[in-house]
Structure 1
Amino acid sequence: MTHIVLATDGSAFSDAAARFIVEGKLLQGEVTVHVVHVAPEVTGQVRAFVSKDAIDDWHREESEKAMRSVCDILGAAQLRVEKHALSGFPPDRIVALAKSVNADAIVIGTHGRGSFFDAVLGSVAGRVVAHASCPVILVKAPDKA
């Protein structure tokens, strides 16, 4: 069985990555697509005033919203999907998930902003590429996305 991790942030770029999986040549034999959304941890100041249950509920809701579109795209193609709603530092959590499911590839939609923005803001995709032990496929959305 082939395992593919699809990281999503709920954007059109993530949708393009899902379409790439559906339309691409990665699908050979049985495939499970592990859709992952990583919500950032909240600060200690927030934790002081908001209950852990409320924070966990918020993380779950945000992840469900972010994963909905790509899961719809993959489901329409009748692919096996497992959803992973995580929190923490996205590159670390994506790479760890890929290792835990023995992923054959990680697919990420990229905004394609260029090296200047990535140098200033950091790039989840760039960090995943640097640390993943499996191939990472970056998919840029069409210009109209």
Structure 2
Amino acid sequence: MTDDVMASPRIVVGVDGSDPSKAALWWAVRQAGLIGGVVEAVTAWEYPSAWYGWTPPQAEVFDYEKNAGKTLTEAIDRAIGPDRPVEIRTRVVRGHPAAVLLHAARGAHLLVVGNRGHGGFAEALLGSVGQHCVQHASCPVVVVRGPGESGGN
């Protein structure tokens, strides 16, 4: 048997610290428990693109990667708590969230995203990152609504 066949199913979940992403993380952990899988929690970060593509001077002082890692750790702690029922691997990657998640999801069993994150319009039913992932992922995508969000009008 190959390593791919022997490996536990991998569920990739996008986490940006928003309530929908924490709900997606919680769902992914529960699903991994049901199928004997592992969760790969992924956070993407980018330098701000203000100033016509130039990074503002204060960006050199602020550690965006470290802040993204802290956001990921806090989201896992809040969504799952200290008792981890499955293995949760973390990745903090520089790049656009949709591209980072699509790359991470190659060969995965599932990709799980919240229905919307911190960016964009709060009224949107599905955020741009989630929509891009649904349209372009190489594996099935599950979109999870945040707590208290209803599907009706």
TM over 0.5: yes
Structure-2 separation of matches of 1:107 and 1:74: 19
2:3 corresponds to 1:3: no
Query: 1:87 Cα shift?
Result: 1.5
Partner of 1:94: 101
Query: 1:13 Cα shift?
Result: 1.1
Structure-1 separation of matches of 2:115 and 2:72: 16
Q: TM-score, normalised by structure 1?
A: 0.75
Task: Mark the runs of 5 or more structure 2 residues left unpaired by the alignment.
Answer: 1-7, 117-121
Partner of 1:113: 123
Partner of 1:130: 135
The answer to whether the 8 Å contact 1:5/1:35 transfers is yes
Taking the TM superposition and a 5 Å limit, the aligned residue runs for 1:1-145 are: 1-24=8-31, 27-29=34-36, 31-43=37-49, 44-46=53-55, 49=57, 58-72=63-77, 73=80, 76-99=83-106, 102-111=107-116, 113-114=123-124, 123-143=128-148
RMSD: 2.6
Task: State percent identity of aligned pairs.
Answer: 27
Structure-1 separation of matches of 2:88 and 2:32: 17
Three-state SS of the structure 1 residue aligned to 2:55 is helix
Which ranges of 4 or more aligned residues in structure 1 deviate by more than 6 Å?
A: none
Higher helix share: 1
Structure of greater relative contact order (alpha carbons < 8 Å, 6+ residues apart) = 1
Instruction: Please give the per-residue CA displacement for 1:60-109, whole angstroms capped at 9, x wherever unaligned.
Output: 2222232124422175233111111011111111101111xx21100111
The answer to whether the 8 Å contact 1:21/1:27 transfers is no
Q: TM-score, normalised by structure 2?
A: 0.72
Number of matched pairs = 132
The answer to whether the 8 Å contact 1:34/1:84 transfers is yes
The answer to whether the 8 Å contact 1:11/1:66 transfers is no
Higher strand share: 1
Task: Mark the runs of 5 or more structure 1 residues left unpaired by the alignment.
Answer: none
